């Protein structure tokens, strides 16, 4: 009897770029990678937050701005570290390879690009919303539209090119 996959596990597979079914060993490896990535990201983030709180309570000029920069830089460095770890582990275990037959390549690449543009659109909406909440810009300005289009295009293109690199042709066994 096959174990039913949870919505969270399907999201992890999508985010990591893993296609197709996984056996028990690969499934446990994906869960291990996710658990390690959580600890790589969020435990050091506690120290970054404490440092930002301490800086914000000091009697110096621009303390809030400095605390904000510490938070952003810390989050950025931890995200880079986590993404590098995940990419390295997935490459080492060969979990991202998407094996397809010759007659399926066009459909698979079309599916990959469609999901890449959808995730890019989602990223563009979220980043534009967060940026506008922080900077208090007008949502109808040309700059906001440009920012949205830039976020969407960069994320979609990066995601699409990265995922199409993992498509591997296999010979028919007939």
pTM metric for this prediction:
0.66
- Under a CB-based contact definition with an 8 Å cutoff, are residues 117 and 160 in contact? yes
Query: Which helix H or strand E contains 131, and what residues bound it?
Result: helix 105-135
Which tens digit of pLDDT belongs to each residue from 51-90? 989 988 888 888 888 888 888 888 888 888 988 898 889 8
Which tens digit of pLDDT belongs to each residue from 11-67? 777 777 777 777 888 888 888 998 999 999 888 999 999 998 998 888 888 888 888
Helices 24-56 & 63-93 angle (0-180, nearest 10):
170
Nearest CA to 87 out of 36, 148, 53 is that of 36
pLDDT band at 132 (very low <50, low <70, confident <90, very high): confident
Query: Which helix H or strand E contains 109, and what residues bound it?
Result: helix 105-135
What pLDDT score was predicted for residue 1? 46
User: DSSP string covering 63-105, please?
Assistant: HHHHHHHHHHHHHHHHHHHHHHHHHHHHHHHT-S-EEEEGGGH
What does the alpha-carbon distance between residue 33 and residue 27 come to, in Å, rounded to a whole number? 10
Query: Percent of the chain, pLDDT > 70?
Result: 97
């Amino acid at each position: 009897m096959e174990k039913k996959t949870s919505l969270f596990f399907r999201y992890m597979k999508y985010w990591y770029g893993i296609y197709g079914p996984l056996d028990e060993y690969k499934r446990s490896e994906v869960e291990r990678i996710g658990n390690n990535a959580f600890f790589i990201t969020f435990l050091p983030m506690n120290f970054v937050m404490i440092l930002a709180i301490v800086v914000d309570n000091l009697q110096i000029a621009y303390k809030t701005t400095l605390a904000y920069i510490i938070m952003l830089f810390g989050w950025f460095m931890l995200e880079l570290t986590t993404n590098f770890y995940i990419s390295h582990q997935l490459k080492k275990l060969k979990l991202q390879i998407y094996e397809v037959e010759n007659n399926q390549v066009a459909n698979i690449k079309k599916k990959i690009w469609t999901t890449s543009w959808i995730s890019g659109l989602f990223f563009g909406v979220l980043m534009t919303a967060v940026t506008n909440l922080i900077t208090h810009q007008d949502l109808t300005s040309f700059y906001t539209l440009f920012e949205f289009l830039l976020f969407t295009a960069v994320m979609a293109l990066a995601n699409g090119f990265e995922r199409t690199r993992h498509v591997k042709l296999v010979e028919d066994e007939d």
